Amino acid sequence: MIQAENLRKSFGTVYAVNGVSFTAPDGVVTGLLGPNGAGKTTSLRMVYGLMRPDSGTIRVDDCDVVADPVGAQRKLGVLSDMSGLYPRLTSREHIRYFGQLQGVPADELEKRMEKLIEIIDLKSIADRRAGGFSHGERTKVALARALVHNPQNILLDEPTNGLDVMSTRAVREVIRHLKSENRCVVFSSHVMQEVSALCDRIVVIARGRVVAEGSAGELIELSGKTTLEDAFVVLAGPQGEAE
């Protein structure tokens, strides 16, 4: 479970995040939906402890992220905005490297790795070096290494951005699988279809604030429109600011 309360972060005089609060319970896929530059990525960076909030608190399970980021990182699996690979290492080596750094015992690590290769469908590229991978293949490997320590909480920052249909489906499958294991999944996107297809709860972020929260149906009702896209435009658009 992830609880973020009243997060604020400024760069110079501009507030990128200005009062974001949300709760992501276990067994639920929570979507952070918002236009580009709304503060989704900055919010997530604070949750996974690489960025320090100016104010506000974040808890991952029972761990205070600001006070103990390393402790929180043990409980988190993160597919971040930048998820570069090492071109001279194979997929297996990437997964093993991160597993070792997470302190996963050797025999368990090998078992876990084989399972991930199975779930994420990496068999064909498991022993190939990452140098020639496509964007989709890179994302899948990055996802596998983020999950190698079996984290209870998973943060995915625009995981399907720029992926082809096959890779998008694979990522969706993994997210559903994680949900079925009663994990807490937080998923950010600016793509309506992605969010509505996967998420149980949607947090709409715009201009550094949470502007609405609820299931897809609740958001449509709230906005008085008939589709989620229209609802999103109403909630996240400039009119929202005037309210």
Nearer to another protein, 125 or 236 (CB): 125
Binding region for another protein (CB under 8 A) out of 101-109, 161-169, 179-187, 204-212: 101-109
Figure out which of the listed residues 2, 4, 17, 76 binds another protein, where binding follows CB under 8 A: 76
Give Cα 152 to chain centroid, integer Å.
13
Figure out which of the listed residues 18, 21, 57, 102 binds another protein, where binding follows CB under 8 A: 102
Nearest-5° Cα angle at 238, 232 to 243: 90
- Least Å distance between CB 178 and another protein? 17
Check: CB of residue 2 under 8 Å from CB of residue 58.
Answer: yes
Among 69, 74, 72, 70, smallest CA distance to 103 is for 74
SS3 30: strand
**Sheet strands side by side (includes 2-11):** 14-24, 2-11, 55-60, 63-64
Distance CA 98, CA 37 (A): 30
Distance CA 117, CA 141 (A): 9
174 binds another protein (CB under 8 A): no
Figure out which of the listed residues 95, 146, 231, 236 binds another protein, where binding follows CB under 8 A: 146
Interface pattern 40-69 for another protein (x via CB under 8 A): -----x--x-xxx-----------------
81 binds another protein (CB under 8 A): yes
Residues that bind another protein (CB under 8 A): 45, 48, 50-52, 70-71, 73-74, 76, 78, 80-89, 93, 97-98, 100-103, 129, 142, 145-146
